[in-house]
Amino acid sequence: MSKGIFITFEGPEGAGKTTIINLVKEHFQKMGIRANFTREPGGIQIAEKIREVILNKDHVNMDARTEALLYAAARRQHLVEKVIPALQRGEVVICDRFIDSSLAYQGYARGLGINEVYSINEFAINGQLPDLTIYFQIEPEEGLKRIESSANREKNRLDLEQLSFHQKVQTGYEKVIEKFPERFTVVDAAKSVKDVLQDVLSILEKNMNI
């Protein structure tokens, strides 16, 4: 389908995905390695606007199916505008969250069903699954504690869910990993930033042949 490599980072709140992606970006820049770094929901103007709607703290009455469809819509636009063109040019795309977030959060934690949410996402992604997904494994309590003590992080509507919701997200991810074992690599995200970065870089080096 495409010549590039599509790599996604997944995990619960506060697992350290964004921190590590920023450090990988710095490392790649220093080493002269070319890659596209992006995120979901967002990464392009239309999807960033959908992100604002989904994550707005005032939208407390958003229906779970509406939420799932908005994530899928943002995903579609981001794919066609940014991810697929880069993959077709033969480039590497590293994306903070993708379909597996929808399966864990909307499919399992919101109770819509992993298979049902996969179905609506099949329409959105039209076959474009990641080549590799790096899962940041951490206890939800630990991730939420990190967010709590993060000075410059404003909590969004999903961050504000109860601990029980975030525990279901963790179980949801475990089920998703069972469903796609060949695509996932798990890292211990409870380690120090330095150690997690080292683990992630060695996974990337192996998969990108660098």
Which residues make up each annotated binding site for ATP? 11-18
How many other C-beta atoms can be found within 10 angstroms of the C-beta atom of residue 141? 12
Tokens 């590039």 correspond to what residue? 4
Q: Which DSSP state fits 97?
A: S
Span of 2-10, 34-42, 87-95, 184-192 interacting with ligand LXEULUCI by CB under 6 A: 34-42
Task: Report, in Å, the least distance between residue 173 CB and ligand LXEULUCI.
Answer: 11
Residue 146 engages ligand ATP in binding (rule: CB under 6 A)? yes
How many other C-beta atoms can be found within 10 angstroms of the C-beta atom of residue 20? 23
Are 47 and 41 a contacting pair, CB within 8 Å? yes
Are 44 and 36 a contacting pair, CB within 8 Å? no
Contacts of 161 (CB under 8 A, 6+ apart): 109
What residues from 163 to 202 belong to the interface with ligand ATP (CB under 6 A)?
192-193, 196
Span of 33-41, 130-138, 177-185, 200-208 interacting with ligand LXEULUCI by CB under 6 A: 33-41
Pick one of ligand LXEULUCI, ligand ATP, none as the site partner of residue 10 (Cβ within 5 to 8 A by kind).
none
Residue 41 engages ligand LXEULUCI in binding (rule: CB under 6 A)? yes
Task: Report, in Å, the least distance between residue 196 CB and ligand ATP.
Answer: 5
Q: Does residue 67 come out as left (phi exceeding 0), alpha (psi in the -120 to 50 range) or beta?
A: alpha
Chain residues in the site for ligand LXEULUCI (CB under 6 A):
13, 39-41, 71, 97, 101-102, 105-106, 158
